[in-house]
Chain A
Amino acid sequence: MNCEGIQARLQDLLDGKLSAAERREVEAHLDGCGECAALATLMGPDLLLECAPDLTNAVLERTSGSACSRAHEILCESVDGTLGHVDAELLSLHLDRCGECAALAVALKRLGEDLPAMAELEPAAGFVEEVLAATLPRRSPWAGLAARWARAWTTLLARPRIAWEAGYVGTVALWLVVSVLGAPFQASTPLPSVESSAKIVDDVKHRVSTLGRRAWDATGGRGQEAWDGLQSDISRRYRRTEGALDAMRQDGDRLKQAALEFDLEESGQALKALTNDARSAWERFANAPEASDAEPE
Chain B
Amino acid sequence: MNSQLLIISALLLPIIGIVFIALTHKNINLRETCTLITSVALIYIVYSLLPAVLNGLHPELYLFNITSSLAIHFKVEPLGMLFACIASFLWLINSIYSIGYMRGNKYKHQTRFYIYFALAIASTIGIAFSANLFTLFIFYEFLTLSTYPLVTHKGTDEAKRAGRIYLGILLATSICLFLPAIIWTHQLTGTIEFTRGGVFNGDYQPIIIISLLLMFTYGIGKAAVMPVHRWLPSAMVAPTPVSALLHAVAVVKAGVFSVVKIIIYIFSPTFLSDIIDINVLLYLAGATILIASVIALRSDNLKRRLAYSTISQLSYVILATALLVPISIMGAALHILAHAFGKITLFFAAGSIYTATKKTEVSQLDGIGRCMPWTMTAFAIGSLSMIGIPPTAGFLSKWFILQGALDIQSWFAVTVIVISTLLNAAYFLPIVYVAFFRDSNTKNVCTYNEAPFPIVLAVSITALMTVMLFFFPEVPLQLVKLLIGEGL
Q: A and B from one assembly?
A: no
**Residues of chain B whose beta carbon lies under 8 Å from any beta carbon of chain A:** none
